[in-house]
Amino acid sequence: MLKVRVLTAVVLLPVALLVLFVFPEDAFAFSVGLVVLIGAWEWIRLSGVVNRLVTLNLLLILAGTLIWSYFLPLTHVPVLLSIGCIFWIGASALVIIYPKSQKQLGGRCMKLGFGLLVLMPAYVALLYLRRHEAHVLFTAVLVTTIWAADVGAYFVGKQFGITKLAPHVSPGKSWVGLFGGMVVALILGMICVLIGRPVGHFFSPIVWSTLAAIIAITVLFSVLGDLFESLIKREQGVKDSSSLLPGHGGVLDRIDSLTAAAPIFALSMYLTGWPSL
């Protein structure tokens, strides 16, 4: 299983790097949109919808919504990002009080609505970051933050984690792991900015402190994204969102942290105007 997992990662990593850092805007939008549609197909299944015709119609509606968001004026982008962030704050309550929140999760229609709020703001956020003049730096910091938080939380939590973060949702996560992941993310995020900033350009203390705050809140949301998808999978009684990626599960299992982290990161960058403070 480990060999299959590593092989899949070796194949997917170069593709992901090409899409995120090399592809032109149109190719980026199309590629990310395709990933969102695959994730939507998995979410529809997790919501309990098994009818193929219904699934196809839902995917076509989402595809139309993605095309609409591609042409969305910049002035409307913060609204969608804010809606996404508000949803994730509400989702945190569902995670914290689970299983008492089972009634609030509702039926298929409610879960389908959750899926739209999970995927659409993330797509809008990634598109906004790609269109920014500092898109390479922004994307690098976002990806590094998520990866570092995940790896840091795993190793620190495995060694020292006792008190569980959300035992009824994901028993493997601990508060110590969350803290460890945040520290690692802050360190590597800062290093990423040091490497990627323009030559000879020095940031002020307020720029660095703002970045630290943005990274910290991005880490919190990334963990929330992971936990919320785990909650939905637990409700459906499955371990993975699908078996599309050998050794890794489904697409949602790979992007769950990103779906929550991207909107708050992009909104934070928009509101603060970082690094031009």
> Average pLDDT by consecutive 10-residue portion of the chain (277 residues)?
74 90 95 97 94 96 96 95 97 93 87 96 98 94 96 91 89 93 96 84 88 97 96 92 88 96 98 87
Asked if the structure places residue 36 within a domain, the reply is: yes
Rounded-to-integer distance, Cα 221 and Cα 264, Å: 7
Tell whether 216 is covered by a domain. yes
Residue 266 included in any domain: yes
Residue 277 falls within a domain, yes or no?
A: no
The verdict on residue 44 lying in a domain is: yes
* Tokens read off for 44: 């529809």
**pLDDT at 207 (0 to 100):** 92
Question: Domains in the chain: how many in total?
Answer: 1
Q: Residue 1: its pLDDT value, please? A: 57
pLDDT value, residue 2: 56
The β-bridge relationship of strands 164-166 and 170-174 is antiparallel
Core vs surface per residue 185-220: b (16+ CB within 10 A) or e: bbebbbebbeeeeeeeeebeeebeebbeebbbbbbb
Taking each helix axis from N to C terminus, what angle separates 25-46 and 205-236, rounded to the nearest 10 degrees?
40
Give me the pLDDT at residue 197, please: 80
pLDDT value for 149? 96
Domain that holds residue 264: 2-272
